[in-house]
Chain A
Amino acid sequence: KAGVTQTPRYLIKTRGQQVTLSCSPISGHRSVSWYQQTPGQGLQFLFEYFSETQRNKGNFPGRFSGRQFSNSRSEMNVSTLELGDSALYLCASSPGGETQYFGPGTRLLVL
């Protein structure tokens, strides 16, 4: 099976803009989780979607949002970008239970 894919792989934005990142899970996986990875804060959970519904949520501001489509593909959106949003954004897919498989990530740089 093909692995988790994320697009775009790299992105440069300026403060105040918004950005949409996409994640395609492994075929048959219904759960998609999103994480932010930074050198200072490490890997932090953003949210998880299962069957088009947000099932779990981390402690990020409302500027971070997501959605999942009927084919399990997921998008996350960050509005009003701040310099501190520069990070590697990883999504992970799971059949619905525990084991999560990560995508290659989208590296976002906010200038």
Chain B
Amino acid sequence: GENVEQHPSTLSVQEGDSAVIKCTYSDSASNYFPWYKQELGKRPQLIIDIRSNVGEKKDQRIAVTLNKTAKHFSLHITETQPEDSAVYFCAASIGGATNKLIFGTGTLLAVQP
């Protein structure tokens, strides 16, 4: 069945360093790839998304890259800050239905001051 693998499950970085989270998807029809940030006890918040016709997208300190051939996409956070500490989820649309998402298992990012 369709699945999204996400690595690493935990990531600890020093403030100011970069963080990279990687996801691999299985459904070749996937065409929409959002990333969500979830702080403890709060709702998931969309931080960036990318569509299959784009290879890279950047928003201030956050960037996402997509390699459709390899079915692989990554989240890059530069100049990390303590407030970046949270669980990050990647997701991929299933079967071309952009409102049907399959999520990765999450990465707990800890930014040490």
- Cβ-Cβ contact count across A and B, 8 Å cutoff: 56
Chain A 34-70 interface 0/1 with B at a Cβ cutoff of 8 Å (1 = within): 0000000011110010100001101000000000000
Number of interface residues of A (CB under 8 A): 22
Number of interface residues of B (CB under 8 A): 24
A37 to B23, CA, bound (A): 19
A33 to B103, CA, bound (A): 14
Flag if B34 contacts A45 (CB, 8 Å): no
Q: Contacts A43-B89, A99-B34: A33 and B44 contacting too (C-beta < 8 A)?
A: no
**B99 interface contact, C-beta 8 A:** yes
**B97 interface contact, C-beta 8 A:** yes
Q: Contacts A42-B103, A43-B103: A102 and B97 contacting too (C-beta < 8 A)?
A: no
**B32 interface contact, C-beta 8 A:** yes
A38 to B13, CA, bound (A): 26
Flag if B100 contacts A56 (CB, 8 Å): yes
29 contacts between A and B (CB under 8 A): A42-B104, A43-B44, A43-B89, A43-B103, A44-B103, A45-B94, A45-B100, A45-B102, A48-B97, A48-B99, A48-B100, A55-B97, A55-B99, A56-B97, A56-B99, A56-B100, A90-B43, A90-B44, A97-B98, A98-B34, A98-B51, A98-B98, A99-B49, A102-B36, A102-B43, A102-B45, A103-B43, A104-B43, A105-B43
Residues of A within 8 A of B (CB): 31, 33, 42-45, 48, 50, 55-56, 58, 90, 94, 97-105
